[in-house]
Every structure is written in structure tokens, then in C-alpha cells.
Structure 1
Amino acid sequence: MARPEVRACKFIVILISLQSMIRVFAISQNSEEHAPEVHCSRERSRAAYKIVEEYLIPFVEKENYQMSQKCKLHPGNDIFRDQEDHKIHVDVNEWRCGYCKKSFRAEKFIDQHFDNRHSNLLNVSEGNCFAELCGALHCDHVMNSAVPKTKCNPAAATRNRHLCESLADSCFPVHQGPSAGRLHELFLRQFCDAHTCSGRVKPFARGGKKHTNIFYLAISILILMLLPIFYLIVFLYQREMRKGTQVLRRISKQSLKKKPS
């Protein structure tokens, strides 16, 4: 039989192991219970960010204006921005996670991967959900462009206009100088004026970022590649023509000589 001291040591070892397992389980449960819940649409946040990038940032850069971090339109206030920046679009059917290098067939799958594996990297703080700005920024106009428009709700249009004007006031205070004043006016024309049920004013009236047309770019490159070949063909053709003319001249001179009698 084992001595009492040995049995006591074994009991202590087992007890310590059980305590360690309970502690690890408690920590994991506690972390899951206190994991921040994200009530923000990734898809609508992405749409709002793209609208800001397309129809506002080019004008802000042109004015060399620095938006305050307190401005809800500031790119740093997008809860999903770090994850979106780590999304690598390799090919049509391949997306890669910039954190762990895993590959996915579609964007929706990498979005699910971010939610399941990298949610701890979200910039969770109050007021940084870009989806909340969709009413002011016309996200539905961009996301549902192919869907028939529903009947306009005057109350919703008024509410979105107030949100839009508050963004213009907070992000581009007119008292901060001429650049802020011009951007304030532009924001009203670009986004806020279209919040009406009249249908006369369309969103993004001032246009947006200029895109290079891929078709015309491809045609231009093709022309530049074929131009040297065309000039080479013309050069060779003209050289052959000159050679042919010289041969004809020599034949003509010989035929004019009188034959000896």
C-alpha cells in the first residue's frame, strides 16, 4: 500500500489541476460574456464609407482640409476599417485575410471569418458605426440602384435631411475659414438637398472621384503597341517601292540604247 504522504501528494496534485481547469473555464466564460456586442451592419458601413471616399474625400483633399476626429465622417471612426484594410482581393473568386492569410471564395465568407476569428480587432467605441450615417449619405440609392424605388416618406426625408445638415455643421464649421465654408456648402448640395420627395434633386450632384475607363485604357495601350509595327510596315513598303522604281529606270535606259547594225 502507498504511504499516506504519497496519497496526500497525489490528492494535492489532482486538486491543483482541477483548480487550474476551473480557472481557465471561468476566464473563457467571463471573456465570452463580456465580449463587446456589435450592433452595426458591416454591409451598410461599407457602402457609407465608399460614398464618403467617392463623393466627399476628393473635395476635402482638393481644399487641403483636415477633418476632425470628432467628425463622424472621419475614416478613422469606421468600426470595420482595420478589418476592411486587411481584406486582400486577390482574384475574382479569391479573397485573403491579411491577418492570418486564409483564403476565401467570396467576400461574404471573409466577412464571416472576420466576425468569428478577428472580432477582437474591431474599433469598438461609441458613435463609430458608419451604417448610422446611411440615411444622410443615400446608401439605399447606391446599394439598391437596380431595385424599383419605394414611395417616398416625407417624415423620413425630413429626418435624414436634419441628420445630413448636422453632419455638415459638425464636420465643416463655417467659422473655421473659407475652406470649411466651401466644404459646408458642397456637403449641403452634394447630399442634403436630395432629401426631398419632389424628386427634382438627385444625390451627388457635384460628381465624385474621376475613374479611368478600363476600355479606353486598353484601347490606348493596344494602339501604342501597334503603332511601331504600322510604321515598320510603311517603312518596308516604301523601301521596296523605291527598289522597284530604280530597277524600272535601269531597264528603261537600256531599252533606249540603239542596237548595233
Structure 2
Amino acid sequence: MSSQDIMKCAIFLLFQSLVTYDVVVANDCSRHQSRIARKNLEKNFFPKFQNHAYVIPDNCAWNPAKDIYLNQEQNKEVDELGRAVCNFCGKIFVSEYHIDLHMTNRHQQHILKDGKEACLADYCDILRCDILSGDKRTGYWDEALCNEAQLKQLRDSCEKHVRSCVPDHLEEDKKIDFIAELIDSTCSALTCDKFYESGLDKESVYSSTVYIILFVVLGTGLVLYYTVAIIHFFTDDSFIKETDEYSGNYSQRKYTAPVGSEIRNRYPAMAAHR
């Protein structure tokens, strides 16, 4: 393998390590998108039921009992650096992506498949998954060209799902108030004024940026280090030019024993004594 081939492989591996992967499993349901949608609901939707001690109806698509990945998500722990632990078997992984692969390959029995399961990623358009996760970077023109009519359609869809999740036993006035509360917390961002608000504070953005920069610098350094080492020790090329004297080619070195006058010239004192 030539040094150019090794360099290409190293660059490819570095690129692969920097790419954000998404693990898609059952019914083409995105884990990553489902995770963002779940976090949105856990922040803005579920607490409203807890505050009023209401039970989410079975026919509600956002009922946690229907969440296809909830059992697996509740049985893993991820720290601030992204390292993850599987509570099913105790294995440790260097990133959430790798534990997602592990869950898919080793613990598929913990993926909900009862015919009534719901993929939360299917609701990412109304739950603004791309915006909240930062996967979609928006700028001036996104907001300037925002289509209020399209967002109105999303808002209507969101309100429809909200109404399907309101308990039937509530009195009419309480039901109206509760629907308004849910719509305000879950659907109110579906306007041009609020749609592009990420909800990420400056500190979290700064921390993420620092981690990314450190990862890129360390990754690049390791790739360059091992690339140079492999080229030097395992290929015909080398970054260190060897001289003829120390080239290491012992078979080509010529040694001649001194004879006659050479011995006398080297050791004049011994010759004089004789």
C-alpha cells in the first residue's frame, strides 16, 4: 500500500468520525428525530397532564405507552461527553450513536411492536425537531420568507392531535381550558414569529462548540500522527533521509583489514619499540 492510499484512508476515517449518523430501525422510524420529538413533549406536553393529575388517553398518538423506542431510551445513560451505558447488559460505548446501534442489533426485543406503536419522528414537522436540535441552521432569509399559511396548516394539525389527547371525562369548561393550555404550550411556536426559536441557551451552544472544536483538533492530530508513523515504518517512503554512512544496509558496507605500512603508520610507537 502506497503512502497516498494510506493518506486517503486516514482522511476517510476522520470524515466518517465527524459525520452525524442516524439509526433508522422499525418502520423507517428515525431514532434521532424521535428523541428530539420526545424531549419536546416531555418539556411542553406531558407536564400539563401531571399538573392536573390527568391520564393521557390510549387513543392519544403521543401517549408514552405507544412510543416505539421509549423502553430502550429509558434503559441507557448518556453523560455530557456523549459516553453511554446500556442498562440492559452493562456495556459502555463512546457515543450515543454506537449505543443506538447496539440497541438495534442486540436488544430489538425491547422495541415496541404491538401494532399500536407510534413513531414520534412522524410528528417532527409540528414539533420542530430540526429547529430544536440545531440540525437545521436558519438565517435571515428563512425568517424573511416564512410562509404563514403553511405554518397555519401545521398549527391546525397540532391542535387536532392535542384535542385527541384530552380526557373524555372532563367537564366541558375544564376541557376547553385544558385544550387551550395544551395548544399554548405545544402549538404556539408554529408561527413565523416563533418558529425559528431554537430554545438553546448560549451556554449550551458554547459548550457544544467547544466540544466539537476539541474533537476535530484531537482527531486530526491522531490521524496525522498515525499516518506519518505508518508511512515511515511500513512503506518504502520515509520522511527521514538516511545518509550512506548510517543507511542500515550492512550488506553493502566494505571492511578491509589494515596491512603493512598502514599498521606502522597507525601505531608508530609500537613500531619504534620493536
Which TM bucket (shorter chain)? Answer: 0.5 to 0.7
| Deviation digits for residues 48-72 of structure 1 (CA, Å, limit 9, x no counterpart) | 1111111122222111111112111
- Is 2:48–2:182's contact at 8 Å kept on the other side of the alignment? no
**Aligned-residue CA RMSD (Å):** 2.8
**In 2, distance between residues paired with 1:171 and 1:138?**
19
**In 1, distance between residues paired with 2:177 and 2:64?**
20
1:192 matches 2:187 = yes
Which of 85, 94, 98 matches 1:109? 98
Which of 76, 83, 89 matches 1:87? 76
1:174 CA drift (Å): 7.4
1:120 matches 2:109 = yes
5+ long unaligned stretches in structure 2: 1-24, 200-274
1:92 CA drift (Å): 3.2
The one-letter amino acid paired with 2:166 is F
1:136 matches 2:131 = no
**In 1, distance between residues paired with 2:71 and 2:97?**
17
Which of 150, 157, 162 matches 2:156? 162
Cα distance change on mapping 1:128 and 1:60 into 2, 3 Å: same
- Is 1:191–1:203's contact at 8 Å kept on the other side of the alignment? no
Computing the radius of gyration from Cα coordinates, the structure with the larger value is 1
More helix by share: 1
SS in 2 for 1:88: strand
- Is 1:136–1:160's contact at 8 Å kept on the other side of the alignment? yes
Deviates most, 88-97 or 64-73: 88-97
SS in 1 for 2:58: coil
Cα distance change on mapping 1:48 and 1:107 into 2, 3 Å: same
- Is 1:174–1:184's contact at 8 Å kept on the other side of the alignment? no
**In 1, distance between residues paired with 2:64 and 2:184?**
21
1:176 matches 2:170 = yes
Partner of 1:52: 41
| Deviation digits for residues 172-197 of structure 1 (CA, Å, limit 9, x no counterpart) | 26773254332210122223333233
**In 1, distance between residues paired with 2:137 and 2:99?**
26
| Deviation digits for residues 11-49 of structure 1 (CA, Å, limit 9, x no counterpart) | xxxxxxxxxxxxxxxxxxxxxxxxx84311111111111
The one-letter amino acid paired with 1:41 is S
1:203 CA drift (Å): 8.6
SS in 2 for 1:176: coil
- Is 1:165–1:188's contact at 8 Å kept on the other side of the alignment? yes
1:85 CA drift (Å): 0.8
Partner of 2:31: 42
| Deviation digits for residues 76-112 of structure 1 (CA, Å, limit 9, x no counterpart) | 1210000001102367353111112111011111011
**In 1, distance between residues paired with 2:168 and 2:148?**
28
SS in 2 for 1:38: helix
TM-score, structure 1 normalization: 0.56
Q: Which structure is richer in relative contact order (CA contacts within 8 A, separation 6 or more)?
A: 2
SS in 1 for 2:28: coil
TM-score, structure 2 normalization: 0.54
SS in 1 for 2:27: coil
1:143 CA drift (Å): 1.1
Cα distance change on mapping 1:132 and 1:91 into 2, 3 Å: closer
Runs of 4+ in 1 over 4 A off after TM superposition: 201-204
- Is 1:65–1:179's contact at 8 Å kept on the other side of the alignment? no
- Is 1:96–1:110's contact at 8 Å kept on the other side of the alignment? yes
**In 2, distance between residues paired with 1:127 and 1:41?**
14
